[in-house]
Amino acid sequence: MPKTASEIASIISTLEKLYPEAGTELHHGTAIELLIATILSAQCTDLRVNIVTKTLFKKYRKAKDYLAASQEELENDIRSTGFYKNKARSIRGACEAIISDFGGKVPDTMDALLRLPGVGRKTANCILGNFYKKAEGVVVDTHVLRIGRLIGLTKNTNPEKVETDLMKQVPRDSWIKFSNLIILHGRAVCRARKPACEICAIRALCDNGRKAGKVR
Protein backbone atom coordinates (compact mmCIF):
# COMPACT_ATOMS: atom_id res chain seq x y z
CA MET A 1 0.00 0.00 0.00
CA PRO A 2 1.35 3.47 -0.89
CA LYS A 3 2.05 5.69 2.09
CA THR A 4 -0.09 8.72 2.77
CA ALA A 5 1.42 12.15 3.25
CA SER A 6 0.69 11.94 6.97
CA GLU A 7 2.40 8.54 7.24
CA ILE A 8 5.52 9.84 5.52
CA ALA A 9 5.51 12.92 7.75
CA SER A 10 5.26 10.62 10.77
CA ILE A 11 8.18 8.51 9.58
CA ILE A 12 10.34 11.61 9.13
CA SER A 13 9.36 13.25 12.42
CA THR A 14 9.90 10.03 14.37
CA LEU A 15 13.36 9.50 12.87
CA GLU A 16 14.27 13.15 13.45
CA LYS A 17 13.69 12.63 17.17
CA LEU A 18 16.00 9.61 17.10
CA TYR A 19 18.69 11.26 14.99
CA PRO A 20 18.46 15.03 15.58
CA GLU A 21 21.93 15.67 14.16
CA ALA A 22 21.40 13.61 11.01
CA GLY A 23 23.76 14.43 8.17
CA THR A 24 26.39 12.70 6.12
CA GLU A 25 28.92 10.88 8.29
CA LEU A 26 31.67 11.43 5.73
CA HIS A 27 34.12 13.91 7.22
CA HIS A 28 34.77 16.91 4.99
CA GLY A 29 35.37 20.62 5.10
CA THR A 30 35.14 21.51 1.42
CA ALA A 31 33.18 20.42 -1.64
CA ILE A 32 36.20 18.66 -3.15
CA GLU A 33 36.70 16.72 0.08
CA LEU A 34 33.09 15.56 0.10
CA LEU A 35 33.36 14.59 -3.56
CA ILE A 36 36.47 12.50 -2.91
CA ALA A 37 35.02 10.94 0.24
CA THR A 38 31.82 9.99 -1.55
CA ILE A 39 33.73 8.36 -4.42
CA LEU A 40 35.78 6.41 -1.87
CA SER A 41 32.64 5.31 0.00
CA ALA A 42 31.49 3.04 -2.82
CA GLN A 43 31.41 -0.49 -1.34
CA CYS A 44 33.29 0.78 1.69
CA THR A 45 32.18 1.89 5.15
CA ASP A 46 32.13 5.57 6.06
CA LEU A 47 34.28 4.68 9.08
CA ARG A 48 37.05 3.31 6.85
CA VAL A 49 36.76 6.28 4.47
CA ASN A 50 37.10 8.72 7.37
CA ILE A 51 40.23 6.92 8.56
CA VAL A 52 41.77 7.19 5.09
CA THR A 53 40.73 10.79 4.44
CA LYS A 54 42.11 11.99 7.77
CA THR A 55 45.56 11.66 6.19
CA LEU A 56 44.52 12.04 2.56
CA PHE A 57 43.01 15.49 2.99
CA LYS A 58 46.21 16.80 4.57
CA LYS A 59 48.18 15.69 1.53
CA TYR A 60 45.67 16.66 -1.16
CA ARG A 61 43.83 19.94 -0.60
CA LYS A 62 42.70 20.99 -4.07
CA ALA A 63 41.79 19.29 -7.35
CA LYS A 64 45.22 20.09 -8.80
CA ASP A 65 46.92 18.18 -5.99
CA TYR A 66 45.31 14.90 -7.06
CA LEU A 67 46.63 15.41 -10.57
CA ALA A 68 50.13 16.28 -9.36
CA ALA A 69 50.41 12.79 -7.87
CA SER A 70 50.79 9.72 -10.03
CA GLN A 71 48.01 7.18 -10.47
CA GLU A 72 50.07 4.66 -8.51
CA GLU A 73 50.73 7.04 -5.62
CA LEU A 74 47.05 7.88 -5.26
CA GLU A 75 46.17 4.18 -5.47
CA ASN A 76 48.46 3.46 -2.55
CA ASP A 77 46.98 6.31 -0.53
CA ILE A 78 43.42 4.97 -0.88
CA ARG A 79 44.17 1.23 -1.14
CA SER A 80 42.33 0.21 2.03
CA THR A 81 38.99 1.53 0.73
CA GLY A 82 38.87 -1.23 -1.89
CA PHE A 83 38.56 -0.99 -5.67
CA TYR A 84 41.36 1.54 -5.37
CA LYS A 85 42.45 1.44 -9.01
CA ASN A 86 39.02 2.42 -10.34
CA LYS A 87 38.51 4.95 -7.54
CA ALA A 88 41.88 6.58 -8.24
CA ARG A 89 41.01 6.86 -11.94
CA SER A 90 37.63 8.37 -11.10
CA ILE A 91 39.16 10.86 -8.67
CA ARG A 92 41.81 11.99 -11.13
CA GLY A 93 39.29 12.15 -13.96
CA ALA A 94 36.87 14.21 -11.89
CA CYS A 95 39.62 16.57 -10.77
CA GLU A 96 40.82 17.03 -14.34
CA ALA A 97 37.29 17.97 -15.44
CA ILE A 98 36.85 20.30 -12.45
CA ILE A 99 39.98 22.18 -13.46
CA SER A 100 39.41 22.22 -17.23
CA ASP A 101 35.65 22.79 -17.28
CA PHE A 102 34.74 24.45 -13.98
CA GLY A 103 37.64 26.68 -13.04
CA GLY A 104 38.85 24.42 -10.25
CA LYS A 105 35.53 24.55 -8.35
CA VAL A 106 33.25 21.59 -7.75
CA PRO A 107 30.07 22.46 -9.67
CA ASP A 108 26.80 22.96 -7.84
CA THR A 109 24.25 21.68 -10.35
CA MET A 110 23.13 18.14 -11.10
CA ASP A 111 23.87 18.35 -14.83
CA ALA A 112 27.39 19.64 -14.26
CA LEU A 113 28.22 17.12 -11.53
CA LEU A 114 27.07 14.23 -13.71
CA ARG A 115 29.66 15.32 -16.28
CA LEU A 116 32.44 14.41 -13.84
CA PRO A 117 33.97 10.93 -14.27
CA GLY A 118 32.94 8.58 -11.49
CA VAL A 119 29.98 10.72 -10.41
CA GLY A 120 26.46 9.31 -10.58
CA ARG A 121 23.23 10.61 -9.10
CA LYS A 122 23.99 9.23 -5.62
CA THR A 123 27.27 11.13 -5.40
CA ALA A 124 25.82 14.25 -7.01
CA ASN A 125 22.85 14.27 -4.62
CA CYS A 126 25.17 13.81 -1.66
CA ILE A 127 27.26 16.84 -2.65
CA LEU A 128 24.31 19.02 -3.63
CA GLY A 129 22.34 18.22 -0.49
CA ASN A 130 25.00 18.01 2.18
CA PHE A 131 27.39 20.71 0.98
CA TYR A 132 25.44 23.08 -1.25
CA LYS A 133 22.11 22.50 0.58
CA LYS A 134 20.28 22.03 -2.71
CA ALA A 135 17.49 19.47 -2.94
CA GLU A 136 17.75 18.16 -6.50
CA GLY A 137 17.03 14.51 -5.66
CA VAL A 138 17.29 11.84 -3.00
CA VAL A 139 20.49 9.96 -2.18
CA VAL A 140 19.80 6.27 -2.81
CA ASP A 141 22.47 4.09 -1.26
CA THR A 142 22.04 0.46 -0.21
CA HIS A 143 20.28 1.46 3.04
CA VAL A 144 17.79 3.78 1.35
CA LEU A 145 17.06 1.25 -1.38
CA ARG A 146 16.58 -1.63 1.04
CA ILE A 147 14.59 0.23 3.69
CA GLY A 148 12.51 2.06 1.10
CA ARG A 149 11.38 -1.34 -0.15
CA LEU A 150 10.78 -2.70 3.35
CA ILE A 151 8.68 0.28 4.40
CA GLY A 152 6.69 0.12 1.19
CA LEU A 153 7.78 3.30 -0.53
CA THR A 154 8.96 1.47 -3.63
CA LYS A 155 8.98 -1.94 -5.24
CA ASN A 156 11.88 -1.15 -7.53
CA THR A 157 15.47 -2.33 -7.23
CA ASN A 158 17.02 0.08 -9.72
CA PRO A 159 18.43 3.06 -7.75
CA GLU A 160 17.19 5.67 -10.23
CA LYS A 161 13.67 4.22 -10.23
CA VAL A 162 13.75 4.07 -6.43
CA GLU A 163 14.81 7.70 -6.35
CA THR A 164 11.92 8.64 -8.64
CA ASP A 165 9.46 6.82 -6.37
CA LEU A 166 10.82 8.58 -3.29
CA MET A 167 10.80 12.00 -4.94
CA LYS A 168 7.11 11.55 -5.76
CA GLN A 169 6.17 10.72 -2.16
CA VAL A 170 8.60 12.57 0.10
CA PRO A 171 8.15 16.38 0.22
CA ARG A 172 10.98 18.17 -1.55
CA ASP A 173 11.96 20.11 1.56
CA SER A 174 12.64 16.75 3.22
CA TRP A 175 14.64 15.09 0.43
CA ILE A 176 18.03 15.85 1.95
CA LYS A 177 17.24 14.87 5.53
CA PHE A 178 15.13 11.86 4.52
CA SER A 179 18.05 9.92 3.07
CA ASN A 180 20.37 10.90 5.93
CA LEU A 181 17.78 9.73 8.46
CA ILE A 182 17.15 6.44 6.68
CA ILE A 183 20.89 5.74 6.35
CA LEU A 184 21.44 6.28 10.08
CA HIS A 185 18.41 4.13 10.91
CA GLY A 186 19.75 1.39 8.64
CA ARG A 187 23.03 1.35 10.51
CA ALA A 188 21.54 1.54 13.99
CA VAL A 189 18.31 -0.48 13.85
CA CYS A 190 17.14 -1.71 10.45
CA ARG A 191 20.33 -3.58 9.71
CA ALA A 192 20.64 -5.61 6.53
CA ARG A 193 21.47 -8.96 8.13
CA LYS A 194 18.87 -8.78 10.88
CA PRO A 195 16.54 -5.79 11.19
CA ALA A 196 15.70 -5.14 14.84
CA CYS A 197 11.97 -4.76 14.19
CA GLU A 198 11.13 -5.32 17.86
CA ILE A 199 12.74 -2.00 18.82
CA CYS A 200 12.03 -0.05 15.62
CA ALA A 201 10.27 3.25 16.26
CA ILE A 202 8.64 3.24 12.82
CA ARG A 203 7.64 -0.44 12.75
CA ALA A 204 3.91 0.42 12.76
CA LEU A 205 4.41 2.22 9.43
CA CYS A 206 6.55 -0.51 7.86
CA ASP A 207 5.05 -3.03 5.43
CA ASN A 208 7.73 -5.56 6.34
CA GLY A 209 6.83 -5.32 10.01
CA ARG A 210 3.18 -6.00 9.25
CA LYS A 211 3.91 -8.95 6.95
CA ALA A 212 6.18 -10.52 9.50
CA GLY A 213 3.47 -10.25 12.15
CA LYS A 214 5.65 -7.98 14.22
CA VAL A 215 3.01 -5.27 14.50
CA ARG A 216 -0.48 -6.03 15.77
pLDDT along the chain (216 residues), means of 10: 90 97 95 98 95 98 96 98 97 98 97 96 97 97 96 96 97 97 96 92 89 54
Here the contacts of 173-178 (C-beta below 8 Å, separation 24 or greater) are: 173/135, 174/12, 175/129, 175/135, 175/137, 175/138, 176/129, 176/130, 176/133, 176/135, 177/12, 177/16, 177/22, 178/12, 178/138
Q: According to the model, what pLDDT value does residue 133 have?
A: 97
pLDDT of 212 reads 61
pLDDT at 209: 75
Q: What is the CATH number of domain 5-22+138-211?
A: 1.10.1670.10
Give the global pTM: 0.92
Which residues are catalytic, by number? 122, 141
Instruction: Give domain limits for the chain.
Output: 5-22+138-211, 31-130
User: Is the CATH code 3.20.20.70 the one for domain 31-130?
Assistant: no
